[in-house]
Amino acid sequence: MELLGYVAALLIGLSLGLIGGGGSILTVPVLVYLIGLSPVISTAYSLFIVGLTSLVGSYKFYKKGLVSLKTAAVFGVPSIVAVFITRRYIVPAIPDNIFSVGDFVVTKGILLMLLFAGLMVFASISMIKKKKTPEEPIEGVDENIDTELDVEHENPAAEHPKPTFNYGGILAEGLVVGTLTGLVGAGGGFLIIPALVLFSKLDMKMAVGTSLLIIAVKSLFGFIGDIFNYEIDWAFLGIFSAISIAGIFIGTFLSTKIHADKLKSAFGWFVLLMGIYIFAKELFF
């Protein structure tokens, strides 16, 4: 099963490179069900893996002028604060046994996995949805690396309007996404991207690139909160992350030869089924 976990790490990276995102949402289930780690430590490790893979993706967008650093700072600060506080103080404070119904005990691990399954269902819906227009980029995945993005102009950033900010909306959304990321260890791109479009008036391509940078920074800061609470197996984490990142580069190469839209939809259905499976496993088996 552990060997399958490392194979899954490669597949996670492949999916990121091939279809532009979504793969990292499988990180927690892989760590829990294949590697055999506890849900709590799996969400911690997922933050590191998600942060690192998102950083790789954001650099790709940054080189093309498709990252708004000011927007990332405005949105990222409340999100970083929320994710750090959640991982450093809130998650450790959740009791191991929360409540019981008859013989069924809802533990901290079960609660985190149920929250994660809910996130998978919501993220899968955005992957399954068809694009409304041919030019609309990938939307609504937590670590979105747009492999189909083709910017032919020397200064693509000049084509995008300067962002305007609804500070109240950005603050509220940043706190919500940061708390969610802290609880389940996923990036929450399916929440961040619409928020950037709505509250910062970014177009979709700029929102995707900026979202990646926000996900990378807040995930890694959240992981710092975990360092204070748990003993980290750095050797395992480094190997798993390296395999996943290698998968990204392989997937990016293959994406030039494979059309990503049908793969993205099929992967969305797979994520949906995985979310339903986690609900069933944690509640009934």
Residue 158 has pLDDT above 60, yes or no: no
% residues pLDDT > 70 (the chain) = 81
Secondary structure (DSSP) of 173-209 = HHHHHHHHHHHH----HHHHHHHHHHHH---HHHHHH
Write the Ramachandran bin of 15: left for phi over 0, alpha for psi from -120 to 50, otherwise beta: alpha
Interior angle at CA 199, CA 194 and CA 201, nearest 5: 85
Task: Output DSSP code: residue 99.
Answer: E
Mean pLDDT on 92-98: 92
Contacts of 140 (CB under 8 A, 6+ apart): 123, 125, 126, 127, 129, 189, 190, 193, 194
Distances (CA, A) of 46 to 50, 93, 216: 6, 20, 12
pLDDT (tens digit, 9 = 90+) per residue, 241-272?
999 888 878 877 776 777 666 677 788 888 88
Dist. CA 271–CA 126, nearest whole Å: 11
Task: Tell me the H-state helices in the chain.
Answer: 2-19, 27-29, 39-63, 69-85, 91-93, 108-128, 167-184, 189-200, 204-227, 234-255, 260-284
Residue 152 has pLDDT above 50, yes or no: no
Q: Are 209 and 65 in contact (CB under 8 A)?
A: no
Dist. CA 264–CA 28, nearest whole Å: 20
Dist. CA 110–CA 112, nearest whole Å: 6
Distances (CA, A) of 156 to 1, 49, 61, 213, 243: 45, 29, 10, 18, 32
Residue 50 has pLDDT above 70, yes or no: yes
Residue 84, Cβ neighbours under 10 Å: how many? 19
Q: What is the pLDDT of residue 150?
A: 40
Q: For residue 58, which amino acid is it? A: S
Q: What is the pLDDT of residue 21?
A: 60
pLDDT (tens digit, 9 = 90+) per residue, 160-192?
556 666 777 778 878 888 888 888 877 677 678
pTM for this one?
Answer: 0.77
Residue 157 has pLDDT above 60, yes or no: no
